[in-house]
Structures are given as C-alpha cells and as structure tokens.
Amino acid sequence: MTEEIIIAGFGGQGVLSMGKILAYSGIMQDQEVSWMPSYGPEMRGGTANVTVIISDERISSPILSTFDTAIILNQQSMDKFEDAVKPGGVLIYDPNGITRHPEREDIEVYQIAAAEEASNMGMNKVFNMVVLGGYLKVKPLVKMDNVIKGLKKSLPERYHHLLPVNEKAIKRGLEIVQEYKKN
C-alpha cells in the first residue's frame, strides 16, 4: 500500500502540522513515511502545502506531481491541485471561502465544513484536526489509536492537556464529512 497525499491551504491553518501528525501515525504502525513541505516565498506569501507519503515500501521520490488524495483548504489550492488528483483518486475540501467548486468527474469528491465546525466547538485552532478526521473517514488507512499516538508524539508536552479536545475534533470530522455531488 502506498498513499500519496497533498494537503494545501493558507499558512496558519495547520496544514504542515496535520501532515506531520499523519506521518507520525504511519510510523506508529511501522510504515515508511515522508513529509515534504513547500518552503520559502510560497509560504511567506500565504499559501502552504505539504506532500505526505505513507507506504509499506521504501519511498522513492518524496516530491510528486500527482496524488491519490488532495486535501484542499482554500481557492488557490483548489486551482492548483484539483488537476493533480490521479483519476479515481480522492479530493476533500472545506467549502468555506471556495468560489469555484471541484469540477472533475473522474474522482471522488468530499466536503467537510471544518472551519464552521471548529468555530461551533469554540476552538478555531482544531480546524485541521476536524479535516484530519474527515480524511480518516474517507481513507481509513491509519488506525485511530495510531493517530492518537501520532498526535501525542508531534505535540510538544506542554500542549498535552489539549490532546482530548484534538481527539474530539478528529471524531467530529469523522461524523461530518460527506460526499459532494455536483448539481
């Protein structure tokens, strides 16, 4: 099994840390992982993305141009990465701020209202964990207990009191993700 994922959105949305938690979860279940961020002017200008690969085999190239799954969190990223999803692949996006919804018909598309949900929870910062939950529902490749272990590993100890609220956010994500059908 090899899963190649791009997570893309604004800097500050927790794109990179979501990727890190996912990668750590892979390590927790003895898989090979890589995490390749965009760095530099791109990030400084506002958009951030990270490529995460989880595989049973040694990972060849950590740099990819097509993906099994794209998790898209702003319009710029939609414009850039919708076409990069492999045919038959998965696109998950938060409709918040999206002006042009995905148009491809050869991929599975899911919506997750994570920004809204995080706001309802009173914790905007767990936005990325709601998204992660949605991904885990659509692609249950890493087990939930490994995700929790991964979360624990990637959060500095001084934030460990926030583990329960992050876990709750992931579980909300599992519940609210839904398939998007074009009208």
Partner 1 sequence: MEKELRLMKGNEAIAEAAIRAGVDAYYGYPITPQSEVMEYLTEQKPEDRSGMIVLQAESEVASINMIYGAAGAGKRAMTSSSSPGISLMQEGLSYIAGAELPCVLLNVVRGGPGLGTIQPSQADYFQSTKGGGHGDYHLITLAPSSVQEMYDFLKISFELAEKYRNPAMILSDGAIGQMMEKVELDDPVSRRTEEEIINDFPWASTGKKNRERNIITSLELDPAKQEQINLNIQKKYREIEEKEVRFEKVQCDDADYLLVAYGTSARLCQETVKLARDKGIKLGLLRPITLYPFPSKEIATMVNDRVKGVVAVEMSSGQMIEDVKLAVNGKVPAEHYGRFGGMIPSPEKILEFLENQIMGG
- The footprint of partner 1 (CB under 8 A) covers 20, 23-24, 27, 32-37, 39-41, 59-63, 65, 153-154
| Minimum distance from residue 95 beta carbon to partner 1 (Å) | 30
| Minimum distance from residue 58 beta carbon to partner 1 (Å) | 8
Locate 179 and state its tokens. Answer: 């398939």
Q: Which is nearer to partner 1, 23 or 142 (CB)?
A: 23
Which amino acid, residue 17?
S
| Minimum distance from residue 142 beta carbon to partner 1 (Å) | 14
- 36: β partners: 51
| Minimum distance from residue 23 beta carbon to partner 1 (Å) | 6
Please state, in angstroms and rounded to a whole number, the distance separating the CA atoms of residues 115 and 37.
22
Locate 9 and state its tokens. Answer: 């959105």
Q: Which is nearer to partner 1, 34 or 111 (CB)?
A: 34
Q: Which is nearer to partner 1, 30 or 105 (CB)?
A: 30
Q: Which is nearer to partner 1, 30 or 106 (CB)?
A: 30
Q: Which is nearer to partner 1, 26 or 102 (CB)?
A: 26
| Minimum distance from residue 19 beta carbon to partner 1 (Å) | 8
